[in-house]
Chain A
Amino acid sequence: MQKSLFLALAGVTGIAVTATAWAQNAPGGNAANGKMLFEHVGCYQCHGFAGQGGAAGPKLVPALEFEPFALQLRMPRQLMPPYSPQALSDQQVADIHAFVKSLPGPVNRANVPLLQ
């Protein structure tokens, strides 16, 4: 989608407003519910169950801060499909964020001969 058109749309649907509002008060998230949602709403499809990334999407670990994370969901930078507030409430986004934050980082390569 062309960026200008997208921004216009975002304005109409109030997405941009929501994103700004978040900047002030990020809701606390429930990681267990976030895990369920991560799989249920398709994040795993492109980012992997472990947020490790792959051909269809970048790795999510280490997690972005909440604001850019939420902004990416509402107004993806590029090819990621958008998740509107209708599809995913602010609280649900916060839950997913909490889950992504809880994901382990990379394995310590020093202990993995195949990765040395």
Chain B
Amino acid sequence: MSGSDKQPRIERRQFLKGAAAAGPALAAASLVSPQAAQAAQTPAGAAAPATMAVREQHPPGTGQPLAPGYVVGGDHMTDCLRALDIEYVASCPGSTFRGFQESIINYGGNKKPEFLTALHEDSSVHFAMGYAKITGKPMAAMIHGVVGVQHASMAIYNAFGDQVPVYIIAGNLLSEWGRRPGAEAAHSSTDQAQMVRDYIKWDEQPTTLRDFSNAAARCYEAAVSGAPGPVMLTADADMQEEAIHEDHKADLRLPKIGRRIPASADSGTVQELATMLCNAENPVLSLDRYGNNDKSIPLMVELAEALQAPVIDTRGRMNFPNRHPLNVSDIGGPYLRNADVVLAVEPRDLFGMVMALDDEDVRTPRPRIGQNTKVVRLGISHTSQKPNYGGSQRYAPADLDIQADAQGTMPALIEAVKRMAKPNFAARGERIANQTKNLLERAKAEAAYGWDASPISTARLCAEIWDQIKNEEYTVPTETNFLSSWPQRLWVMDKYYNFLGRSGGWGVGYNSAAAIGAALANKPHGRVTVALAGDGDFMMAPGVIWTAAHHQIPILFVIHNNRGYHQETMHLQRMANRRNRAVTTADIGTTIKDPNMDFAMMAKSMGVYSEGPVSNPVDLRPAIQRALAVVKRGEPAVLDIVAQPR
């Protein structure tokens, strides 16, 4: 809608009323001269209309092109995305946003934003997650009215749980006036964001084009501010297809996003925290959603070294160099138990950081910290939590709760700690270094067990991959716990993009798709993206590799094929044993065999280079070598590795 008050818009109904009264001739006339249409229903001398509802102007079947001098709402929406610096729109198409899509492609030239063809809405959102974890920027995921939202909802939940900004644009047909019976009616809703509102940060459904840019800006701001997360902007189809006279297009403002400075703790609080840490005998740093950009890790290293304190990386992100002498992530238990102060940095779930709960039939929380341990929470990662879903686990209080962005607070904290550093810190650091210096050696010794086994051991798989990428800049965009965390144990990981944390909502299907988004973001940097995806995860949305082929996204895509939903096999085994029943049936409903999947054939069918199934460990090296050569050419390559379950 025009921003100009002196140019009244023809309200859609009003226009229709006029058109109906004047008969078909008027509708035809209005194509040539919108003024004529206006004249027919407004007093003589009234100004030209700023916008028109295109659907009425061009009833289906009339085949009349847009009148000269007019552009459409979708063009303005495209300008808005460009103003927000959104580079990609991942999407499985739907007619509720056809007007927007066409504008992005033909008006915007399919550049910034560019369309990424997705084969499932869940994939679109997961692509955006992987991309945002590398770039820090939201990608748009454009989803069909109602059904697209329903499909996307789990990925949205993942993004919310993982605090990743995703810019979701959903189509809709808000007005029932022009909706056709059938699909159009079924794909419209008065409030479709309601389906996901518990796990998005913000949503908007502007009802005029004039409101669109503000709504778009507000959504963007919510997505990237504080603890980031997904947002949903509903773009009404009528508005996308609405005609605007070129003279009035400039009246539609574009969203503007200023620089953001995260809130850091004030100097008094920083001093208090530094004093606590420096006076502590055994301080521990425990890190969760902290490492999001290239400054995060160097700052944390500086703090840890200033304190000579042990660091536990919970791997919610890549938070701390895995080979750093102060990294005690894999031997953290005793450090936590003996800690007098734990600094919990950007914990999503403080309870999980300080308490454990084992999978036993009577579950009793077990403190991971000592009775007198003081817990300080530094961060805002818990602040986007909402009721209803359990992502925040049990309530756990912090003794001191510093609600400030951890990274933003880091420079002042480092400085304060350095001012108060004590000579005995060095001895502490040495003791820790003594405990960590053999971790790599121990890992290699353990990797030697089952080294020649078939199915291939997860240690061997990871060691063989590492050997061939160790001189590359690389990203592991997938979770590693189902691979017994071998990459963290055997590789060198010290850049924020070496590892991207977890799914956020534990929703399977994240890994394979997020990997493609990360690979897209890595492409201009020439980084090698190495996805290590479960066969179950992959089968949730195997079409993601087609997207990689179609858009020439280089990625080494390794399928950890344990022929099953192995996590669930173990759960079922536990149940049967506990109930003292048949212990031989845990594979029923949990395995993916009989017949075995042929992932290599599947990949080939989508135009992707592939090899497998590889089950003999001696075949690994050459297979990885060939696949990497393909990746270096800028294409995806899939390896189906028949591997040990964990």
A interface with B by C-beta (< 8 Å): 1-2, 5, 40-42, 44-46, 48-56, 59, 61, 78-79, 81-84, 86-88, 104-109, 112, 114-116
Contacts and interface: CB of A to CB of B under 8 A. Distances in A.
A64 B492 CA distance: 34
Chain B interface, >50% SS class: loop
B451 A54 contact: no
B186 interface: no
Nearest to B358: A79
A48 B485 contact: no
Most chain A CB within 10 A, of B360, B464, B483, is at B360
A36 to B, nearest CB: 11
Contacts of A53: 446, 449
A50 B457 contact: yes
Contact of B448 (A40, A46, A48, A106): A106
Interface stretch (B78-86, B384-392, B522-530, B570-578): B570-578
A48 B577 contact: no
Contacts of B455: 49
B359 interface: yes
B577 A55 contact: no
A59 B451 CA distance: 13
A39 to B, nearest CB: 10
Contacts of A105: 449
A33 B445 CA distance: 29
B646 interface: yes
B: interface residue count bin: 35 or more
Contacts of B457: 48, 50, 52
A112 B448 contact: yes
Interface stretch (B130-138, B156-164, B582-590): B582-590
B447 interface: yes
Contacts of B580: 84, 86-87
B364 interface: yes
Given A55-B646, A114-B463, A50 B362 contact: no
Given A49-B455, A52-B644, A87 B450 contact: no
A40 B585 CA distance: 8
Contacts of B594: none
A45 B448 contact: no
B374 interface: no
A44 B451 CA distance: 16
Contacts of B446: 52-53, 59
Nearest to A52: B450
B566 A55 contact: no
12 contacts: A40-B584, A50-B449, A50-B450, A52-B457, A54-B458, A55-B485, A81-B573, A81-B578, A82-B577, A87-B576, A112-B448, A114-B464
B644 A50 contact: yes
Contacts of B202: none
Contacts of A52: 446, 449-450, 453, 457, 459, 644
Most chain B CB within 10 A, of A2, A51, A56, A105, is at A56
A67 to B, nearest CB: 21
B361 A1 contact: yes
A54 B451 CA distance: 13
Contact of A48 (B359, B360, B569, B646): B646
